[in-house]
Structure 1
Amino acid sequence: MSDPNRLPGPRDVRTTLDGDTTDRIVVACSPHPQFGGDRHDSRLRAVSDALVDRDIDCLRIDYGPWDEGRGERTDALTALEWAGERYDTVALFGYSFGGAVALSAAIEADSLAAVSVLAPAASSVEGFDPADLDAISCPAQVVYGERDDTADWQSVVERAEQLEWSVESMPADHFFISQQSRIGNLVRDFFAASLG
Protein backbone atom coordinates (compact mmCIF):
# COMPACT_ATOMS: atom_id res chain seq x y z
CA MET A 1 0.00 0.00 0.00
CA SER A 2 1.37 3.42 -0.87
CA ASP A 3 1.47 6.37 1.49
CA PRO A 4 -1.39 8.88 1.09
CA ASN A 5 -0.72 11.47 -1.57
CA ARG A 6 -2.45 14.49 -3.03
CA LEU A 7 -3.92 14.53 -6.52
CA PRO A 8 -3.06 17.50 -8.73
CA GLY A 9 -5.89 19.99 -9.04
CA PRO A 10 -7.60 22.88 -7.28
CA ARG A 11 -8.97 20.86 -4.35
CA ASP A 12 -7.11 18.97 -1.63
CA VAL A 13 -7.89 15.38 -2.67
CA ARG A 14 -5.93 12.82 -0.64
CA THR A 15 -5.61 9.23 -1.79
CA THR A 16 -4.29 5.79 -1.00
CA LEU A 17 -3.29 3.53 -3.89
CA ASP A 18 -3.57 -0.20 -3.23
CA GLY A 19 -1.72 -2.44 -5.68
CA ASP A 20 0.65 -1.26 -8.38
CA THR A 21 1.18 -4.05 -10.86
CA THR A 22 -1.77 -3.96 -13.27
CA ASP A 23 -3.25 -1.91 -16.09
CA ARG A 24 -6.72 -1.86 -14.43
CA ILE A 25 -7.85 0.37 -11.58
CA VAL A 26 -11.01 1.18 -9.63
CA VAL A 27 -11.39 4.64 -8.06
CA ALA A 28 -13.24 4.25 -4.74
CA CYS A 29 -15.32 7.17 -3.39
CA SER A 30 -15.58 7.37 0.38
CA PRO A 31 -18.73 7.87 2.47
CA HIS A 32 -19.94 11.21 3.83
CA PRO A 33 -17.04 13.22 5.26
CA GLN A 34 -19.27 15.17 7.64
CA PHE A 35 -20.19 11.90 9.35
CA GLY A 36 -16.65 10.56 9.64
CA GLY A 37 -16.45 8.91 6.23
CA ASP A 38 -13.03 8.64 4.69
CA ARG A 39 -10.89 6.45 2.46
CA HIS A 40 -10.12 4.14 5.40
CA ASP A 41 -13.77 3.02 5.67
CA SER A 42 -14.01 -0.74 6.27
CA ARG A 43 -16.28 -1.31 3.27
CA LEU A 44 -13.91 0.53 0.92
CA ARG A 45 -10.97 -1.41 2.33
CA ALA A 46 -12.81 -4.73 1.87
CA VAL A 47 -13.52 -3.89 -1.77
CA SER A 48 -9.95 -2.72 -2.32
CA ASP A 49 -8.47 -5.85 -0.73
CA ALA A 50 -10.68 -8.09 -2.86
CA LEU A 51 -9.76 -6.17 -6.04
CA VAL A 52 -6.03 -6.32 -5.36
CA ASP A 53 -6.37 -10.08 -4.87
CA ARG A 54 -7.70 -10.16 -8.47
CA ASP A 55 -4.87 -7.96 -9.78
CA ILE A 56 -7.01 -4.82 -10.02
CA ASP A 57 -5.54 -1.72 -8.36
CA CYS A 58 -7.73 0.53 -6.21
CA LEU A 59 -7.37 4.26 -5.56
CA ARG A 60 -9.32 5.20 -2.41
CA ILE A 61 -10.03 8.94 -2.16
CA ASP A 62 -10.81 11.55 0.47
CA TYR A 63 -12.56 14.63 -0.86
CA GLY A 64 -11.44 18.23 -0.64
CA PRO A 65 -13.40 20.76 1.47
CA TRP A 66 -17.12 20.01 1.89
CA ASP A 67 -19.16 21.33 -1.05
CA GLU A 68 -22.63 19.73 -0.91
CA GLY A 69 -21.57 17.02 -3.36
CA ARG A 70 -20.62 19.36 -6.22
CA GLY A 71 -16.94 19.60 -5.30
CA GLU A 72 -16.89 15.95 -4.31
CA ARG A 73 -18.12 15.00 -7.80
CA THR A 74 -15.28 17.13 -9.18
CA ASP A 75 -12.87 15.26 -6.90
CA ALA A 76 -14.04 11.92 -8.29
CA LEU A 77 -13.63 13.20 -11.85
CA THR A 78 -10.13 14.45 -10.97
CA ALA A 79 -9.25 10.98 -9.64
CA LEU A 80 -10.64 9.37 -12.80
CA GLU A 81 -8.54 11.70 -14.93
CA TRP A 82 -5.42 10.88 -12.89
CA ALA A 83 -6.14 7.16 -13.23
CA GLY A 84 -6.86 7.46 -16.95
CA GLU A 85 -3.40 8.91 -17.54
CA ARG A 86 -1.78 5.88 -15.88
CA TYR A 87 -4.05 2.88 -16.55
CA ASP A 88 -5.61 1.33 -19.62
CA THR A 89 -8.89 0.49 -17.87
CA VAL A 90 -10.59 2.69 -15.24
CA ALA A 91 -13.72 1.94 -13.20
CA LEU A 92 -15.52 3.61 -10.31
CA PHE A 93 -16.94 2.48 -6.95
CA GLY A 94 -18.63 4.32 -4.10
CA TYR A 95 -20.34 3.62 -0.80
CA SER A 96 -23.28 5.61 0.64
CA PHE A 97 -22.63 9.32 -0.10
CA GLY A 98 -19.71 8.05 -2.17
CA GLY A 99 -22.15 5.91 -4.15
CA ALA A 100 -24.11 8.99 -5.17
CA VAL A 101 -20.85 10.82 -5.93
CA ALA A 102 -19.71 7.87 -8.08
CA LEU A 103 -22.97 7.74 -10.04
CA SER A 104 -22.99 11.50 -10.49
CA ALA A 105 -19.40 11.40 -11.77
CA ALA A 106 -20.14 8.40 -14.00
CA ILE A 107 -22.85 10.41 -15.78
CA GLU A 108 -20.16 12.92 -16.79
CA ALA A 109 -17.12 10.67 -17.18
CA ASP A 110 -15.55 9.67 -20.48
CA SER A 111 -14.21 6.17 -21.15
CA LEU A 112 -15.39 4.64 -17.88
CA ALA A 113 -15.18 0.84 -18.00
CA ALA A 114 -17.69 0.08 -15.21
CA VAL A 115 -19.30 1.53 -12.09
CA SER A 116 -20.48 -0.15 -8.89
CA VAL A 117 -22.17 1.44 -5.89
CA LEU A 118 -23.05 0.21 -2.42
CA ALA A 119 -26.05 1.71 -0.57
CA PRO A 120 -26.09 4.90 -2.69
CA ALA A 121 -27.54 7.87 -0.80
CA ALA A 122 -29.37 9.46 -3.72
CA SER A 123 -30.36 12.82 -2.22
CA SER A 124 -26.97 13.53 -0.64
CA VAL A 125 -25.36 15.00 -3.77
CA GLU A 126 -26.76 18.29 -5.00
CA GLY A 127 -27.89 18.05 -8.62
CA PHE A 128 -27.88 14.25 -8.78
CA ASP A 129 -31.06 12.70 -10.17
CA PRO A 130 -31.49 8.92 -10.64
CA ALA A 131 -33.51 9.70 -13.76
CA ASP A 132 -30.21 10.68 -15.42
CA LEU A 133 -28.63 7.24 -14.94
CA ASP A 134 -29.45 6.27 -18.51
CA ALA A 135 -26.50 8.50 -19.51
CA ILE A 136 -24.18 5.84 -18.05
CA SER A 137 -23.25 3.53 -20.92
CA CYS A 138 -20.80 1.19 -19.15
CA PRO A 139 -21.70 -1.93 -17.13
CA ALA A 140 -23.16 -0.91 -13.75
CA GLN A 141 -23.96 -2.58 -10.43
CA VAL A 142 -25.98 -1.50 -7.40
CA VAL A 143 -25.71 -3.37 -4.07
CA TYR A 144 -28.05 -2.43 -1.25
CA GLY A 145 -29.09 -3.55 2.21
CA GLU A 146 -32.69 -4.71 2.51
CA ARG A 147 -32.95 -3.20 6.02
CA ASP A 148 -31.18 0.06 5.16
CA ASP A 149 -33.25 2.91 6.56
CA THR A 150 -30.35 5.39 6.57
CA ALA A 151 -29.75 6.04 2.86
CA ASP A 152 -32.46 6.78 0.30
CA TRP A 153 -31.30 4.07 -2.10
CA GLN A 154 -34.74 3.05 -3.37
CA SER A 155 -34.92 5.46 -6.33
CA VAL A 156 -31.48 4.36 -7.54
CA VAL A 157 -32.36 0.66 -7.27
CA GLU A 158 -35.66 1.20 -9.08
CA ARG A 159 -33.95 3.06 -11.93
CA ALA A 160 -31.12 0.50 -12.07
CA GLU A 161 -33.66 -2.31 -12.43
CA GLN A 162 -35.39 -0.41 -15.25
CA LEU A 163 -32.02 -0.07 -16.99
CA GLU A 164 -31.33 -3.80 -16.40
CA TRP A 165 -28.18 -3.16 -14.39
CA SER A 166 -26.82 -5.77 -12.03
CA VAL A 167 -28.74 -5.27 -8.76
CA GLU A 168 -27.81 -7.23 -5.63
CA SER A 169 -29.65 -7.14 -2.31
CA MET A 170 -28.16 -8.18 1.02
CA PRO A 171 -29.88 -8.94 4.34
CA ALA A 172 -28.28 -5.92 6.02
CA ASP A 173 -28.74 -2.38 7.23
CA HIS A 174 -26.74 0.58 5.92
CA PHE A 175 -23.55 -0.41 7.71
CA PHE A 176 -23.32 -4.04 6.53
CA ILE A 177 -21.94 -5.19 9.90
CA SER A 178 -19.78 -8.32 9.56
CA GLN A 179 -20.49 -8.49 5.83
CA GLN A 180 -17.43 -6.70 4.46
CA SER A 181 -16.02 -9.89 2.97
CA ARG A 182 -19.24 -10.62 1.08
CA ILE A 183 -19.36 -7.02 -0.17
CA GLY A 184 -15.77 -7.26 -1.34
CA ASN A 185 -16.50 -10.48 -3.21
CA LEU A 186 -19.68 -9.19 -4.90
CA VAL A 187 -18.01 -6.01 -6.10
CA ARG A 188 -14.76 -7.77 -7.07
CA ASP A 189 -16.61 -10.39 -9.14
CA PHE A 190 -18.58 -7.67 -10.94
CA PHE A 191 -15.46 -5.71 -11.81
CA ALA A 192 -13.46 -8.81 -12.75
CA ALA A 193 -16.18 -9.75 -15.24
CA SER A 194 -16.68 -6.19 -16.52
CA LEU A 195 -13.04 -5.17 -16.87
CA GLY A 196 -11.86 -8.35 -18.59
Structure 2
Amino acid sequence: MTRPVIVPGARDVRGRLDEASADGAESDAVVVACPPHPQHGGSRSDARLRSVADALGERGVDCLRFDYGPWDEGVGERADARDAAAWAADQYDAVGLFGYSFGASVALCAATDLDLRALSALAPTARLGPDLDAVAVLDRIDCPIQIAVGERDDTVDWAPIAERAAELGREVERLPADHFFVGRHDRVGELAAAFLASELGENS
Protein backbone atom coordinates (compact mmCIF):
# COMPACT_ATOMS: atom_id res chain seq x y z
CA MET A 1 0.00 0.00 0.00
CA THR A 2 1.21 3.50 -0.78
CA ARG A 3 -0.10 6.87 0.36
CA PRO A 4 0.79 10.51 -0.29
CA VAL A 5 2.83 12.52 2.21
CA ILE A 6 3.37 16.28 2.36
CA VAL A 7 6.64 16.87 4.19
CA PRO A 8 6.44 19.77 6.68
CA GLY A 9 9.03 22.49 6.11
CA ALA A 10 9.82 25.73 4.32
CA ARG A 11 9.80 24.13 0.87
CA ASP A 12 7.18 22.27 -1.16
CA VAL A 13 8.24 18.64 -0.65
CA ARG A 14 5.89 15.79 -1.48
CA GLY A 15 6.35 12.08 -1.37
CA ARG A 16 4.81 8.64 -1.36
CA LEU A 17 4.98 6.34 1.64
CA ASP A 18 5.31 2.68 0.65
CA GLU A 19 3.93 0.73 3.59
CA ALA A 20 5.38 -2.72 4.19
CA SER A 21 3.18 -5.72 3.69
CA ALA A 22 5.14 -8.22 5.80
CA ASP A 23 2.80 -10.05 8.20
CA GLY A 24 0.18 -7.32 7.72
CA ALA A 25 1.49 -5.42 10.76
CA GLU A 26 2.41 -1.75 10.93
CA SER A 27 6.12 -1.11 10.73
CA ASP A 28 8.07 0.81 13.34
CA ALA A 29 10.93 1.39 10.90
CA VAL A 30 11.21 3.50 7.75
CA VAL A 31 13.81 4.46 5.17
CA VAL A 32 13.73 7.89 3.55
CA ALA A 33 14.82 7.61 -0.11
CA CYS A 34 16.48 10.58 -1.86
CA PRO A 35 16.07 10.64 -5.65
CA PRO A 36 18.73 11.43 -8.27
CA HIS A 37 19.28 14.86 -9.86
CA PRO A 38 15.93 16.58 -10.45
CA GLN A 39 17.27 18.56 -13.40
CA HIS A 40 18.16 15.29 -15.12
CA GLY A 41 14.74 13.74 -14.62
CA GLY A 42 15.34 12.33 -11.15
CA SER A 43 12.23 11.78 -9.07
CA ARG A 44 10.69 9.56 -6.42
CA SER A 45 9.64 7.23 -9.26
CA ASP A 46 13.26 6.34 -10.08
CA ALA A 47 13.60 2.61 -10.76
CA ARG A 48 16.40 2.17 -8.25
CA LEU A 49 14.40 3.84 -5.48
CA ARG A 50 11.41 1.65 -6.28
CA SER A 51 13.56 -1.48 -6.17
CA VAL A 52 14.85 -0.51 -2.73
CA ALA A 53 11.32 0.27 -1.52
CA ASP A 54 10.02 -3.09 -2.77
CA ALA A 55 12.86 -5.01 -1.11
CA LEU A 56 12.39 -3.10 2.14
CA GLY A 57 8.67 -3.84 2.12
CA GLU A 58 9.41 -7.55 1.93
CA ARG A 59 11.46 -7.10 5.10
CA GLY A 60 8.78 -5.21 7.01
CA VAL A 61 10.26 -1.72 6.54
CA ASP A 62 8.31 1.24 5.16
CA CYS A 63 9.90 3.60 2.63
CA LEU A 64 9.26 7.29 2.02
CA ARG A 65 10.22 8.26 -1.54
CA PHE A 66 10.05 12.04 -1.99
CA ASP A 67 10.56 14.71 -4.62
CA TYR A 68 12.72 17.74 -3.87
CA GLY A 69 11.30 21.23 -3.77
CA PRO A 70 12.43 23.89 -6.30
CA TRP A 71 16.00 23.43 -7.54
CA ASP A 72 18.48 25.01 -5.11
CA GLU A 73 22.00 23.85 -6.08
CA GLY A 74 21.97 21.02 -3.56
CA VAL A 75 21.46 23.24 -0.51
CA GLY A 76 17.67 23.19 -0.57
CA GLU A 77 17.70 19.53 -1.52
CA ARG A 78 19.77 18.73 1.57
CA ALA A 79 17.21 20.64 3.64
CA ASP A 80 14.44 18.60 1.99
CA ALA A 81 16.14 15.36 3.03
CA ARG A 82 16.49 16.63 6.59
CA ASP A 83 12.84 17.66 6.70
CA ALA A 84 11.73 14.28 5.33
CA ALA A 85 13.86 12.49 7.93
CA ALA A 86 12.42 14.72 10.69
CA TRP A 87 8.89 13.80 9.57
CA ALA A 88 9.89 10.14 9.60
CA ALA A 89 11.39 10.42 13.10
CA ASP A 90 8.05 11.74 14.39
CA GLN A 91 6.23 8.74 12.94
CA TYR A 92 8.64 5.83 13.50
CA ASP A 93 10.99 4.41 16.12
CA ALA A 94 13.83 3.76 13.65
CA VAL A 95 14.82 5.82 10.60
CA GLY A 96 17.28 5.03 7.84
CA LEU A 97 18.35 7.03 4.79
CA PHE A 98 18.97 5.92 1.21
CA GLY A 99 19.99 7.88 -1.86
CA TYR A 100 21.01 7.22 -5.44
CA SER A 101 23.52 9.32 -7.45
CA PHE A 102 22.88 13.01 -6.62
CA GLY A 103 20.48 11.76 -3.95
CA ALA A 104 23.20 9.58 -2.41
CA SER A 105 25.39 12.64 -1.89
CA VAL A 106 22.39 14.62 -0.61
CA ALA A 107 21.79 11.85 1.92
CA LEU A 108 25.42 11.87 3.06
CA CYS A 109 25.49 15.66 3.43
CA ALA A 110 22.17 15.67 5.31
CA ALA A 111 23.07 12.84 7.68
CA THR A 112 25.41 14.85 9.92
CA ASP A 113 22.42 16.56 11.54
CA LEU A 114 20.13 13.54 11.80
CA ASP A 115 19.51 10.76 14.29
CA LEU A 116 19.71 7.77 11.94
CA ARG A 117 20.08 4.04 12.42
CA ALA A 118 21.75 3.53 9.02
CA LEU A 119 22.55 5.11 5.67
CA SER A 120 23.01 3.48 2.26
CA ALA A 121 24.45 5.56 -0.59
CA LEU A 122 24.30 4.16 -4.13
CA ALA A 123 26.67 5.71 -6.70
CA PRO A 124 27.37 8.94 -4.78
CA THR A 125 29.43 11.73 -6.26
CA ALA A 126 32.20 13.32 -4.21
CA ARG A 127 30.89 16.88 -4.27
CA LEU A 128 27.56 18.59 -4.85
CA GLY A 129 28.90 22.12 -4.64
CA PRO A 130 31.55 24.31 -2.98
CA ASP A 131 30.07 23.80 0.49
CA LEU A 132 28.68 20.29 -0.01
CA ASP A 133 31.59 17.85 0.19
CA ALA A 134 30.28 14.30 0.49
CA VAL A 135 33.75 12.90 1.22
CA ALA A 136 34.46 15.18 4.18
CA VAL A 137 31.13 14.45 5.88
CA LEU A 138 31.92 10.73 6.13
CA ASP A 139 34.04 11.48 9.20
CA ARG A 140 31.08 13.13 10.94
CA ILE A 141 28.34 10.54 10.40
CA ASP A 142 27.75 8.37 13.46
CA CYS A 143 25.46 5.67 12.08
CA PRO A 144 26.49 2.60 10.05
CA ILE A 145 27.09 3.45 6.38
CA GLN A 146 27.00 1.37 3.22
CA ILE A 147 28.56 2.77 0.04
CA ALA A 148 27.69 0.88 -3.17
CA VAL A 149 29.30 1.80 -6.49
CA GLY A 150 29.48 0.53 -10.05
CA GLU A 151 33.05 -0.23 -11.08
CA ARG A 152 32.31 0.90 -14.65
CA ASP A 153 30.67 4.14 -13.52
CA ASP A 154 32.23 7.04 -15.45
CA THR A 155 29.31 9.42 -14.83
CA VAL A 156 30.16 10.58 -11.29
CA ASP A 157 33.34 10.92 -9.24
CA TRP A 158 32.66 8.09 -6.79
CA ALA A 159 36.21 6.85 -6.09
CA PRO A 160 37.11 9.42 -3.34
CA ILE A 161 34.01 8.46 -1.36
CA ALA A 162 34.62 4.72 -1.70
CA GLU A 163 38.27 5.13 -0.71
CA ARG A 164 37.55 7.29 2.36
CA ALA A 165 34.70 5.02 3.45
CA ALA A 166 37.02 2.00 3.25
CA GLU A 167 39.66 3.86 5.30
CA LEU A 168 37.03 4.47 7.98
CA GLY A 169 36.02 0.82 8.04
CA ARG A 170 32.63 1.46 6.44
CA GLU A 171 30.95 -1.12 4.23
CA VAL A 172 31.89 -0.61 0.57
CA GLU A 173 30.27 -2.70 -2.17
CA ARG A 174 31.75 -2.61 -5.69
CA LEU A 175 29.47 -4.01 -8.37
CA PRO A 176 30.33 -4.86 -12.01
CA ALA A 177 27.99 -2.17 -13.33
CA ASP A 178 27.75 1.31 -14.80
CA HIS A 179 26.23 4.34 -13.09
CA PHE A 180 22.69 3.30 -13.96
CA PHE A 181 23.04 -0.33 -12.84
CA VAL A 182 21.36 -1.53 -16.02
CA GLY A 183 19.95 -5.00 -15.48
CA ARG A 184 20.89 -4.89 -11.80
CA HIS A 185 18.09 -2.88 -10.22
CA ASP A 186 16.85 -5.88 -8.25
CA ARG A 187 20.41 -6.61 -7.10
CA VAL A 188 21.00 -3.10 -5.77
CA GLY A 189 17.54 -3.04 -4.19
CA GLU A 190 18.28 -6.26 -2.30
CA LEU A 191 21.77 -5.09 -1.35
CA ALA A 192 20.60 -1.79 0.15
CA ALA A 193 17.49 -3.26 1.76
CA ALA A 194 19.36 -6.10 3.45
CA PHE A 195 21.84 -3.67 4.98
CA LEU A 196 19.25 -1.11 6.04
CA ALA A 197 16.73 -3.61 7.41
CA SER A 198 19.45 -5.33 9.44
CA GLU A 199 20.61 -2.06 11.00
CA LEU A 200 17.02 -0.95 11.61
CA GLY A 201 16.41 -4.14 13.53
CA GLU A 202 14.03 -5.68 11.02
CA ASN A 203 14.17 -8.94 9.08
CA SER A 204 17.15 -9.00 6.71
TM category (shorter chain) comes to over 0.9
1:5 and 2:10 equivalent?
no
Q: How far apart in 1 are the matches of 2:179 and 2:160?
A: 16
Measured after TM superposition, the shift of residue 94 of structure 1 is 0.2
2:101–2:125 contact (8 Å) kept in structure 1: yes
> Quick one: percent identity of the two aligned structures?
55
Q: How far apart in 2 are the matches of 1:15 and 1:108?
A: 21
Cα distance change on mapping 1:100 and 1:126 into 2, 3 Å: farther
**Cα RMSD (Å) of the superposition?**
1.1
What is the correspondence of 1:30-179 to structure 2 with a 5 Å cutoff? 30-109=35-114, 111-129=115-133, 130-179=135-184
Unaligned 5+ runs, structure 1: none
**Structure 1, residues 15-48: CA drift from partner, whole Å, max 9, x if none?**
0100152000000000000000000000000000
- AA aligned opposite 1:160: A
Q: How far apart in 2 are the matches of 1:191 and 1:6?
A: 24
Query: For residue 23 of structure 2, what is the aligned residue in structure 1?
Result: none
Q: Please identify which structure carries the higher strand content.
A: 2
Q: How far apart in 1 are the matches of 2:192 and 2:13?
A: 24
Unaligned 5+ runs, structure 2: 21-25
TM-score (structure 2 length as normaliser)? 0.92
TM-score (structure 1 length as normaliser)? 0.96
- AA aligned opposite 1:79: A
Measured after TM superposition, the shift of residue 8 of structure 1 is 1.6
Runs of 4+ in 1 over 6 A off after TM superposition: none
- AA aligned opposite 2:16: T
Q: How far apart in 2 are the matches of 1:67 and 1:156?
A: 23
Measured after TM superposition, the shift of residue 128 of structure 1 is 2.0
Measured after TM superposition, the shift of residue 2 of structure 1 is 2.6
- AA aligned opposite 2:140: A
Q: How far apart in 1 are the matches of 2:11 and 2:63?
A: 20
2:108–2:137 contact (8 Å) kept in structure 1: no
1:122–1:153 contact (8 Å) kept in structure 2: yes
Query: For residue 18 of structure 2, what is the aligned residue in structure 1?
Result: 18
Cα distance change on mapping 1:82 and 1:154 into 2, 3 Å: same
Q: Report the number of matched residues.
A: 195
1:97–1:125 contact (8 Å) kept in structure 2: no
1:119–1:153 contact (8 Å) kept in structure 2: yes
